[in-house]
Amino acid sequence: MGKIALVHQFAFVPKDETGLAKAMKAFSLFKHKSGKISNMLEKEVREIPGKVRVFDYKYTVHTGNSNATIIQTVFLLSSNSQELPAFKVYPRTFFHKIAAYFRKNKTPELIKDPAFYERYIVKTEEAAELKPRMNYDFTRLLKNGKNLRVESLDNHLLIYRDSKRLPVEEIMDFYELGLKIYNSLK
């Protein structure tokens, strides 16, 4: 990660000394008490304007007599000027499909893209604010993005894949994808 920082003009922060994980507790990803941020790449991006961070997030899940440690790569964009509607987008699983069959309330249809809704669930209480921002660029990026999770709250946009730590050679592609997703929501 240090090499990426040098080549692409990021600041490299080996450990979260500023308490970023605690500051982001409103996001479902950061609810884990054992969660730790490491290997953070940080960069001011004038085009946003704001700060982009890409980092590893590690936490332990306790289930009965066993523990599982999860490490995943996370993209976090913090805008200085633009506030996005609060929403979550996450992959639809087999269990979601079964639950949807019995449930009357469905995911709000914010864009006419059945292929997107077959793969993803959108949760928001701000559908009126989100609908004009949802577009085919956004849904295309997610459909091509291999089970991405996207969360937005206030001026922060969070993107990650469940339990997926990216190899170093894929970090810049993930960074670029995060910027494209943000720009598609403007």
pLDDT of the residue at 76: 98
Distance, in Å, from the CA atom of 186 to the CA atom of 182, rounded to the nearest integer, reads: 7
DSSP 169: G
pLDDT of the residue at 96: 62
pLDDT tens-digit series, residues 15-31: 998 899 989 999 989 98
Distance, in Å, from the CA atom of 76 to the CA atom of 152, rounded to the nearest integer, reads: 10
pTM beyond 0.85, yes or no: yes
DSSP 21: H
pLDDT of the residue at 11: 95
Q: Which residues of the chain have pLDDT under 50?
A: none
Asked whether the beta carbons of 39 and 73 are under 8 A apart, the reply is: no
* Residue 122: partners with Cβ closer than 8 Å, 6 or more residues away: 87, 88, 89, 107, 108, 110, 130, 134
Asked whether the beta carbons of 36 and 16 are under 8 A apart, the reply is: yes
If you search the block for the tokens 């170093």, which residue do you land on? 168
**Three-state SS for 156?**
strand
Token representation of residue 119: 């793969």
Partnered with residue 87 across adjacent β-strands are 124, 152
* Best CA proximity match to 160, nearest among 143, 138, 184, 177: 177
pLDDT of the residue at 159: 97
